Amino acid sequence: MKILKECFRAETERLRQSWMRHDRGTLRDYLVRDVEDPRINVQSILTRHFLVERLFGERFDLVAEQELRFGLVVNWLLKLLKKSVTVGRLQTVFDALLTGRPDAEGMQIPSYVSETFADLMLPNYICDLLNWVPVETTEAPIPEYLMSTFEAIWSEVLAGEQPQSISVLEPACGSANDYRFIETFGIARLLDYTGFDLCDKNVHNARGMFPHARFEIGNVLEIDADDKAFDYCFVHDLFEHLSIEAAEAAISELCRVTRRDICAGFFNMHVGGEHIVKAVGDYHWNTLSLVRTKAVFERYCSGIQVIHIDEFLTSEFGCADAHNKGAYTFVVSL
């Protein structure tokens, strides 16, 4: 432990400074907006499903599939809104969906949108998404009650469930970026969560929002926990910001403190055999090699499922619209 501390001391300090330069308001909001909003971000959705599956096996698979579809539909709509789609245009899309036409006056409707629409009872949230605009503009954000469609569904279907004694660790939790939805979706009360982050402004934000949850200041390069202290672990968007040596040390630490499975999200990975190292200011913005990163986990684990988000969405939903082609999620069994 002491050796590890010594060799990563300078990097730890630089990492801390990289995040501490943001104010608390920015840290609270900037990673939960737009396509990063954990309600519609596929990797965040998969992480919540990882937890629900650890709690209940396959019982809620149907809800989980519908939630992924919801995420895809909202991401598709967000893209249209960014291109300043008109209210009239949305109406033609709506008419096409109602009458089962594949295109709306020349605009192709993705099959995952029409299939999802056809699967839902009428009226459904897609009707609302295309019709909510009270005035002749599409510039206003999608209303919160629509963005939270699956928050309402999950908290209702999980309402009668009893807490279980499973512990979950989230390193680099930011300002409870994912936890805030794990909480409002009704999942947090069913498990024993601990989050930590190097940046104390994040930890203060998280504690301010959730005074009864466990958030600590901590370093993934030297986790303050016994071996196998947690049943499960999940982590998002951390490893690319570390030097390669530190990323390997972080993986080793996660595997040390976790007893069963880890769900790890990467935002910048490629299939090439070498890492592409890019220092940006005081931290990194690396493109990690899939094979090399997987090999590091394999030193410690018994099995690993690699999910390339783009391929997953294409094969499962016929959706070729993933906004980040470099996004991967690993589900690691120790």
Ligand X SMILES: C[S@@+](CC[C@H](N)C(=O)[O-])C[C@H]1O[C@@H](n2cnc3c(N)ncnc32)[C@H](O)[C@@H]1O
Q: Judged by CB, which is closer to ligand X: 15, or 301?
A: 15
The structure tokens listed for 242 are 């570390």
What is the nearest approach in angstroms of ligand X to the Cβ of residue 33? 11
When asked if residue 215 is in the footprint of ligand X (CB under 6 A), the reply is: no
Indicate which single residue of 149, 194, 202, 287 sits in contact with ligand X (rule: CB under 6 A).
Answer: 202
* Residues in contact with ligand X, shown as a per-residue x/- string from 4 to 23 under the rule CB under 6 A: --------x--x---x----
Distance of CA 280 to the CA centre of its chain: 23
Window contacting ligand X (CB under 6 A); options: 113-121, 127-135, 217-225, 299-307: 217-225
**Residue list 51-80, contact with ligand X (CB under 6 A):** none
Q: Judged by CB, which is closer to ligand X: 51, or 93?
A: 51
When asked if residue 254 is in the footprint of ligand X (CB under 6 A), the reply is: no
When asked if residue 197 is in the footprint of ligand X (CB under 6 A), the reply is: yes
When asked if residue 269 is in the footprint of ligand X (CB under 6 A), the reply is: no
What is the nearest approach in angstroms of ligand X to the Cβ of residue 56? 24
- CA separation for the pair 266, 12 (Å, rounded): 20
When asked if residue 237 is in the footprint of ligand X (CB under 6 A), the reply is: yes
Question: Which residue is listed with tokens 């608390």?
Answer: 24
| Pick from 268, 276, 275, 200: nearest CA to 236 | 268
Question: Which residue is listed with tokens 């391929």?
Answer: 311
107-108 and 214-217 strand pairing = unpaired
One-character DSSP codes across 129-184: HHH---SS-S-SPPPHHHHTHHHHHHHHHTTTPPP---EEEEES-TTTTTHHHHHH
When asked if residue 50 is in the footprint of ligand X (CB under 6 A), the reply is: no
Strand partners, 257: none
When asked if residue 174 is in the footprint of ligand X (CB under 6 A), the reply is: yes
Q: Distance between terminal CA atoms of the chain?
A: 21
When asked if residue 288 is in the footprint of ligand X (CB under 6 A), the reply is: no
Residue type, 73: V
Indicate which single residue of 172, 254, 309, 332 sits in contact with ligand X (rule: CB under 6 A).
Answer: 172
Q: Is 235 helix (H, G, I), strand (E, B) or coil?
A: strand
When asked if residue 286 is in the footprint of ligand X (CB under 6 A), the reply is: no
- CA separation for the pair 208, 326 (Å, rounded): 33
Indicate which single residue of 64, 221, 254, 334 sits in contact with ligand X (rule: CB under 6 A).
Answer: 221
Indicate which single residue of 77, 113, 169, 171 sits in contact with ligand X (rule: CB under 6 A).
Answer: 171
| Pick from 118, 136, 216: nearest CA to 176 | 216
Size of the site for ligand X (CB under 6 A): 20
What is the nearest approach in angstroms of ligand X to the Cβ of residue 43? 8
Question: Which residue is listed with tokens 């947690």?
Answer: 230
What are the backbone dihedrals phi and psi of residue 197, each rounded to the nearest 5 degrees, phi first? Answer: -150, 150
Cβ within 8 Å of residue 25, ≥6 positions away: none
When asked if residue 195 is in the footprint of ligand X (CB under 6 A), the reply is: no
Q: Judged by CB, which is closer to ligand X: 54, or 236?
A: 236
Q: Judged by CB, which is closer to ligand X: 97, or 263?
A: 263
Which residues are at the interface with ligand X (CB under 6 A)? Answer: 12, 15, 19, 31, 171-174, 177, 197-199, 202, 219-221, 236-238, 241
